[in-house]
Structures are given as C-alpha cells and as structure tokens.
Structure 1
Amino acid sequence: MGRNTIRVIVVLATVSVLGILVIQFFFLKNTVDLNERKFHESTTQALKNVAQSLVDYNTKTQGYKSNYDPYNSVDQISNNYYVVNVNDVINPLLLEHLLLVEFKRFNIELDFEYAIYDCETNQMMYGISHSEAKDSIVRSPAVSGEPNSQTMTDEEIFENHYALKPVKIAKPLLPTCDKYIYYFGVYFPHRSQYYSSHVKAWYMVNGFLLLVILFFGYTLYVIFRQRQLSEIQKNFINNLTHEFKTPLSAIRLSSKVLEDPKIIDHPKRLTEYARIIGEQTQRLTIQVEKVLQMASVEKKIIQLDRQEIQLNNFIEKTIDEFRSSQETEINFIRLETLPQETTVKADRLHFSNIIFNILDNAVKYCKETPEIHVRINKTRNSIHIQIADNGIGIPEEYKKKIFGRFFRIPTGDVHDVKGFGLGLDYVRKMTHFHNWKIGVKDNSPKGTIFTITIPK
C-alpha cells in the first residue's frame, strides 16, 4: 500500500469519524432539549391543574370565587423549582393528594418536595416528601381501585381519605418568592434522572460509537505499524544483500583465479588472493555473528559471565583491538582514563562488543577524518564512559529511535554506509542486561556523544 493511499484513507476516515461525532452530538443535544421542554410543559400543566383544583375546592366548600389567574399561575424559579400562585387558601393535605394525582397523570415519576408559603413567618413550610406521600395515594380509593372510585371526584376521595388527619407543618426549606402571597412551591431534587431515563438509548449508541472509534484507532495503529515493519524489513534485506554480496563476489573471483593451474607460477598473486578470501570470509563471519548474536539477545538467552574488570586497562585494550581490526591504520582515537584504576563487574565479551559497536558507528558516520575522544570519569554514585565523535550527528527526532532494531537514519535511495541497523540495538540490550544506561547527545560543533553510565 502506497504512502499517498494511506494518507487518503487516514484523512477520509478521520473526516468520517468527526462527522459522526458532530451528528451524534447534535442529536443528543436535541434529545436533551426536547426532553427538558417536554418535562417543563408537563410539569407546568400538572401544576396548573393542581391550582385549578384547589380553587374549585375552595369555591365549593367556602362559597366564594377566587381571583385566580389560570394563565399566569406557574413560574419556574430554577431548573428544578416551580412556584404556583393560587391566590387563595391552600389545604396542605389536599395539595399533597392533587400533586400525586396530576404527576401520575402526566407520567412524572420523580421524587419531589412541596412547601406552602406562610405569611406569619415569611417562610416556606415543608410538607411531606414524595416517598411518604406515595403511600397516601396508594391507599386512596381512586388508586387502589375500590368499586366506588369510578363515581367519586378528587375532592370526595380527599375528604374520604384525609377527613380525620391533622395538617403536618415541618421546618422551612424552599426559598420564598416576593411576587405572590398565597402560593406553594414544588422542588424536584433528582430531576437529572428524568433526562437519563429518556436518553439512555443515546448513551448506548454513544458507547457503541466509542468502541467503533477505538477499533478504528487500533486499526490505524496496526496499519502504520505494519507499514513501518515492512519498511524495516525492506531496508534490512537490502542491507543484508549488499553486505553479503560484496564479500561473496570477491571470494568467487578469487576462487576462479586460484583454480587456474598457472597461478602456482605466481606465488605473490597466490598469496594475495588467499589473503582476500581470508579477509572476506572473516567479514562474512562477523556479519553472520551479528545476526545470530541479535537473535540470541531477542530470545533473552544471554548468560552474562560477570567478572571483575580493571576499567582503564580494559578500555585501552579494547581500543587497541578496534584499531587492529580496521583496514587502515587508525591513530585518531584519544583516550582519557581515570587518575586511579577502578574495577567494575561486567561480561568481558559483551562489554567489548558495546565499545566496538559505538566506535564502529563513529568511524562509519564520519565524512572527514574521524576524531574520537573516549573519556572515563567517575562521580559519587556512578562511572561514565563518554565516546565523542565528529561525525554527521543525529537529528533530534531520531535520537530515541536509533536504538531500535533494524533502524537506520533515512538517507533516501543512497546506501553509502554499511550495516544492518543492529549495532545500537545490541548496545541498548546489553547495557540493559548489565543494569547500565546508555544515552546520546550532540557534540558541539558537530558529532555525537554516547554515554554509558555504570552505577557503583
């Protein structure tokens, strides 16, 4: 899959997901607004009916007509608090009964608290809570379904059920309203439950959409990861082919020359081609060992042979071995040791390979005469081995990636540096097995500094 194809897929998929989220948001918002408007209209109408029933009851029992205004009787003080102007005397028990009847008629199944304004104390006096009032309506004939409930009015039911009950007045709770004198207030403490019950299906849809988005994100991650692994595999195969092709070609050509019987008459040429075969065979062996070495590290079957090592002497000897392994004479490595010899516990072979790999990178990634400075210093809690070079340096965005397996800094189609991208991955893993740390930073004015930190 091409790079441009992946970009188009990502853009289209992102736009699609954002579009779904926007549509879902507006649907959910409209649903909440609709439910809020429906609740307000149902509650307002139920409270108007309650006020009208109170006025009708007073007119029938007291024999006078109230100045009640049915069109402007209900005010919404807050999101869950309503005030109802009756402009007449309010019987608390009748109010309780009528509230339960009307709320049930409009399917308002919420806990509520009601209170009546008391002129003498200038306070709202609290009545019975919804849970207590519910018992009353359940016991009333109209709700229990007694035979005569079909012919009795709400006022007759109230008188039959509450005739001998005293009025209950409790502590003040709800806020007052200076606009009216004869009024009552109704408060819904759990109004959010009404919305949650009506938008529950939308919550389920949103949850499903969230799962789809997570699955989509994971799919994109897998696509990019597979593409990255494909690029790594491609680069590794190209590097592997290049690294093996060159020595194999040299060995093949040298072998053909040696097959000529007349080569015996030219001992110098015989020695030269034998040397070429030996060097190229050694080069192939080193490359194969690197691959096998990394396979062993990946399987975590490395057994460290920790020994007491004199650090100054070991680093100096390792640098000398590195010099002798190079095709040309190398005299540009400067070593700065500790004033006094110190010992560390490490595996000699792997410790030596760590230094070798860092020095090898310093030589390979330098476009001019290399200058390498190896410095050992000691602090209170650790020992630091710094290897500074004057190479091409490492861009900031790649400093955390260079220790990844097979990773090489992109250079386009140019492959002028040999290697598989295994050296620094090996360095990272072996320092980890030793419980050490490896870091990299810029070396001003150019180059890099690799630092191995060994805790005491």
Structure 2
Amino acid sequence: MNKALIKLIIAAVSFVLLSLTVVQVYWVKNAISVEHTNFEDKVNEAIPNVIYKLEKARAQRNLAEIINSQSRMANFINSMDSINNILYNELVRIEEPEDIEQLIRNSFMASEVLKKLVGNKKPFGTEKLLDKKLLDSLLVAELRNKGIQAKFVYGVYSTARNKMLIDNSGKYGAKLLKDSFVFTLYPNETNRNPDYLMIYFPWEIRYLMKQMASIIFISIILIIIILMIFIYVIRVIVWQRRLSEMKNDFINNMTHEIKTPISTISLACEALFDKEIKKNHLLSENYLNVINDENKRLDGIAERILRAATLDSGDFILNMTKVDVHQIIDHVINTIGIHVEVKDGKIIKDYRAKNATVKADRIHLTSVISNLIDNANKYSPKKPEIKIITENVAGGVLITIRDKGIGINKENQKKIFDKLYRVPTGNIHNVKGFGLGLSYVKAIMERHGGKVRVESEFKNGSRFSVYLPFSDD
C-alpha cells in the first residue's frame, strides 16, 4: 500500500469522523434547544397558577376586611348615638364656664374614641400585604408539579415606585431584572402601574444539561468509540504498510543471504567436475570444505527462520537446568571471537558476578549471548571493541555487552525488539541479518522471567543489558 493511498484513506476517514462529530453536536444542540423551550413552557404554565392562587388568597382577605369594616361601622353608628346623647345632655346642663371646658374635653375624648372605632390606618403596599411564605411555597409546589426541580430566585418589582419591593435573589439581582421570567402580579386589578413577579433560574443551563445527561453521555461515548475505531484503523493501516516494508526487506535480505552460499556451492560443484581438479586431491578437498561450510551456513539461516516461527506459535519448551553464565559466555567467545579478530578487534571480559549460576535453557541462552555479541561485532565497522560485564544484582545476574559501534538513535531504539525490524542502513548489505535476532532475545528473556534493555547513542556505541533471575530452588 503506497503512501498516497494511505493519505487518501486517512483524509476520507477523518472527513467522515468530523462530519459525524458535527452531526452529533448539532443534534445535541437542537435537543438542548427543544428542552429549553419545554422548560419555558412549563414555567409559563406554572407561574400563572401561582398568581391565581395569590389573587384568590387576596380576595378572601379583602372579603374578611369588608365584613370587619361593616361590623365596625355598626359599632360606630351605635357609639355616635350614645356620644351625641351624652354631649347633648351636658350642653343642656351648662350653667358655669367650667361646664363649657368640661364639654370641650369630653368632645376631644369622644373624637379619639370615634377614630379608634373607624380606624385611621393608611393602606399598606404590596411588600406588606403579600405573604412571602405563601408565595415561596406556591412557587416551589407549582414548579414541582410541572417537573421542574431547578433552584430559582424571585422578586416583586413596582413600576409605580421603580424599585424591587421583594427580592430574595441575593447576588443575582441584576440577572433577575434582565434575564428573568416576568408576570403581572395581580392581572385582574385595574392598575395603570402594576407590580410584576419575576423568576430567575441561575443554573438553568446546568439543569437542562443534567436532564439530558443520558443523551449527551451516549453521544460522547459514540464519538469516542468512532474516534477509537478511527485510530485503530489508521494504526492497522500504518502497521500493515510497515509490515509490508519489513517483509520486503526480509525477503531481500534472505534472498541475498541464501544466494551467496548457493552461488558458492554451485561454483564449487562445477569446479569438482573439472578433470584437472579431480586429480588434485588437496584442491578437491578444499572445494568440498567450502561446500560443507556454505551448507552449514544455509542450515543456520533455516534454523534462525524456523526458530522465529516456533517462538510465534509458542510450541517450544525450555529445558531448564542450572548453568554457569560465565561458561556460556566463554563458549560463545571461542566461537565468535575469530570473526572479531579478523576485523582486528578484541573482546574484553569483566566477570564481577561472584555467583553466576542460574536456571536456564542452555541452548537458548547460548543463542541469546551469541546474538548480542554478533550484533556488537557487525555494527562496529572498524576494530570492534566489545566489553562483556557480569555482576550480581538483586535476585539475579546482569550481563552487559557494550560496544563502540555505530549506535542506535532514540527513534529506532523503540522498534529494535520488533520482529523483522532492522535499523535502516540504506541499500548496503554489509550488515547481514533478517531482523529476527533481537526479537528472539526479548522473547527468550521473557520466557526465563528476565528482561533485556538497550542504552545507545547514535555514533557512540550501544549497551545491551540482560537480566537473568536466580532459580527459586
């Protein structure tokens, strides 16, 4: 799959994802708008019921006042008759100036009594007449009847006096005047400057969002699922492309690796058919040795590929025995050391571990050490200097293989343990391999309960550390 096609797929999927997200957001926004309209309708239905019940309570109170007034008027009339009779009798009996003064005093006293009977109270304003507890309880009850549990504040505004007569809004005074629901308090009264009941919901949006929590949650989950699928698809596409590149690289390397020994064997076989060479016993034996060596090389290539396949299937079983790590390293050095010496290099051993005995599979552990030392040699172009250090750490043995080769940059360090991955070297085939070695090392270490770690700096060498735990028994 080429880069242009991958970019096209990513662009198409991104467009679809963005479109679905926009549709979801638009749908949620419309749903909130509908919910807001329903909320307003419910408030507009609930508050008139409150005002009707307030008017009804006021009418009952006015009726009681009228009855009381009529009773007081009857008492007033009776009192007037009695006072008139008393004053008249006193007026008839006036004989001295003192009697006139007494009459005046009695007149003032009678006037005070009449005032008390008639009443001289000024009419109270709305803030005195309106029962605040009743208003509060009616608002709560009617809003709950409509299914509204949101917190609210309210106030009563007088247009005649241009001020709030009742205000329980606290810090929401400005919002109450600007963004509230407004209703005429007593709409059936003929008043040019009526009072208004104002209701404001400070957390209306939060309340609406809470009411729609399930819808919003489902929408968010759907968007997240789509996004995760998108990311997964992109990762699969990128991985497939990368796998394809690694496969091609593997095939090219394998072809190159196999072609060389096959060509060598072919040339040696042709030479052996030559009659002159047949007569030369030493030369014939030399060609046979070449064929044998190249055959072993082919066998080694096949073995590495089969070993990688076995690791994938998980069918291999470790033959765990007690082994001496130092002995295994010495054995590997004896085998590989000649390849290092050919490049005028050297291997330095630094055995610091006092206890180097672990429980491991001898064959696989030997292959692990061999892979790491072979890599250190291959990636050190000039005079390899490989240092092998062993030391005891908590619960096991740490083997460190350090070289002064070309090193590995940070980006490639994350991938070197992936199967078939090789650090790019262009089209140069002087570093041979299939990208199977380090993935094999990691898999074997994990099966042993150990781990492998790399520290490297580009052009400044690499340091591979292998940890093997001691056996429990």
The TM-score normalised by the length of structure 1 is 0.68
Structure 1 match to 2:372: 358
Counterpart of 1:385 (choices 399, 402, 421) is 399
Q: How does 1:143-182 map to 2 (within 5 A)?
A: none
Tell me the distance in 2 between the aligned counterparts of 1:455 and 1:417.
32
Would the alpha carbon gap of residues 227 and 380 (structure 1) be closer, same or farther in structure 2, given more than 3 Å must change?
Answer: closer
- Displacement of 1:195 in angstroms is 5.4
- Displacement of 1:254 in angstroms is 1.4
Tell me the distance in 2 between the aligned counterparts of 1:378 and 1:50.
85
Tell me the distance in 2 between the aligned counterparts of 1:98 and 1:339.
84
Tell me the distance in 1 between the aligned counterparts of 2:380 and 2:446.
27
Structure 1 match to 2:39: 39
Letter in 2 for 1:7: K
Q: Secondary structure at the match of 1:278?
A: helix
- Displacement of 1:110 in angstroms is 3.5
Does residue 348 of structure 2 align to residue 334 of structure 1?
yes
Structure 1 match to 2:160: none
Does residue 282 of structure 2 align to residue 244 of structure 1?
no
Q: How does 1:43-442 map to 2 (within 5 A)?
A: 43-44=43-44, 46-52=46-52, 54-55=54-55, 58-59=58-59, 62=62, 88-90=129-131, 108-111=146-149, 204=218, 207-324=221-338, 328=342, 332-338=346-352, 340=354, 342-379=356-393, 381-442=395-456
Structure 2 contact 17–227 (Cα < 8 Å) conserved: yes
Letter in 2 for 1:307: T
Would the alpha carbon gap of residues 444 and 3 (structure 1) be closer, same or farther in structure 2, given more than 3 Å must change?
Answer: closer
- Displacement of 1:235 in angstroms is 1.6
Does residue 462 of structure 2 align to residue 448 of structure 1?
yes
- Displacement of 1:92 in angstroms is 7.9
- Displacement of 1:308 in angstroms is 3.0
Structure 1 contact 405–421 (Cα < 8 Å) conserved: yes
Tell me the distance in 1 between the aligned counterparts of 2:419 and 2:350.
31
Would the alpha carbon gap of residues 443 and 311 (structure 1) be closer, same or farther in structure 2, given more than 3 Å must change?
Answer: farther
Structure 1 contact 35–195 (Cα < 8 Å) conserved: no
More helix by share: 2
Q: Secondary structure at the match of 1:409?
A: coil
Would the alpha carbon gap of residues 97 and 360 (structure 1) be closer, same or farther in structure 2, given more than 3 Å must change?
Answer: closer
- Displacement of 1:453 in angstroms is 1.7
Letter in 2 for 1:322: I
Would the alpha carbon gap of residues 115 and 199 (structure 1) be closer, same or farther in structure 2, given more than 3 Å must change?
Answer: closer
Q: Secondary structure at the match of 2:455?
A: strand
Matched residues, number: 374
Letter in 1 for 2:6: I
Structure 1 contact 312–342 (Cα < 8 Å) conserved: yes
Tell me the distance in 2 between the aligned counterparts of 1:257 and 1:390.
42
- Displacement of 1:60 in angstroms is 7.1
Structure 2 match to 1:77: none
Q: Flag structure 2 segments of 5+ consecutive residues without an equivalent.
A: 66-125, 156-165, 169-194
Tell me the distance in 2 between the aligned counterparts of 1:382 and 1:423.
23
Tell me the distance in 2 between the aligned counterparts of 1:367 and 1:303.
37
- Displacement of 1:2 in angstroms is 0.9
Would the alpha carbon gap of residues 88 and 191 (structure 1) be closer, same or farther in structure 2, given more than 3 Å must change?
Answer: farther
Tell me the distance in 2 between the aligned counterparts of 1:410 and 1:416.
12
- Displacement of 1:8 in angstroms is 3.2
1:158-200 CA distance string (max 9 Å, x none): xxxxxxxxxxxxxxxxxxxxxxx99898999999676566686
Q: Which moved more, 1:376-385 or 1:26-35?
A: 26-35
- Displacement of 1:207 in angstroms is 4.5
Structure 1 match to 2:4: 4
Structure 1 contact 366–392 (Cα < 8 Å) conserved: yes
Tell me the distance in 2 between the aligned counterparts of 1:206 and 1:280.
63
Structure 1 contact 387–450 (Cα < 8 Å) conserved: yes
Structure 1 contact 36–195 (Cα < 8 Å) conserved: no
- Displacement of 1:233 in angstroms is 1.7
Structure 1 contact 401–407 (Cα < 8 Å) conserved: yes
Structure 2 contact 343–383 (Cα < 8 Å) conserved: no
Structure 2 contact 397–469 (Cα < 8 Å) conserved: yes
Letter in 2 for 1:29: K
Q: Secondary structure at the match of 1:419?
A: coil
Structure 1 contact 436–453 (Cα < 8 Å) conserved: yes
Letter in 2 for 1:335: K
Letter in 2 for 1:36: H
Tell me the distance in 1 between the aligned counterparts of 2:64 and 2:30.
46
Would the alpha carbon gap of residues 454 and 199 (structure 1) be closer, same or farther in structure 2, given more than 3 Å must change?
Answer: closer
Structure 1 contact 232–406 (Cα < 8 Å) conserved: yes
1:66-100 CA distance string (max 9 Å, x none): xxxxxxxxxxxxxxxxxxx8984459889978987
Tell me the distance in 1 between the aligned counterparts of 2:140 and 2:322.
90
Q: Which moved more, 1:23-32 or 1:88-97?
A: 88-97
Structure 2 match to 1:138: none
- Displacement of 1:439 in angstroms is 1.0
Structure 1 contact 318–352 (Cα < 8 Å) conserved: yes
Structure 2 contact 351–389 (Cα < 8 Å) conserved: yes
Tell me the distance in 2 between the aligned counterparts of 1:410 and 1:301.
31
1:365-402 CA distance string (max 9 Å, x none): 12212111112223454322111111110111121311
Tell me the distance in 2 between the aligned counterparts of 1:20 and 1:199.
20
- Displacement of 1:54 in angstroms is 2.7
Would the alpha carbon gap of residues 402 and 50 (structure 1) be closer, same or farther in structure 2, given more than 3 Å must change?
Answer: same
- Displacement of 1:408 in angstroms is 0.5
Tell me the distance in 2 between the aligned counterparts of 1:21 and 1:212.
9
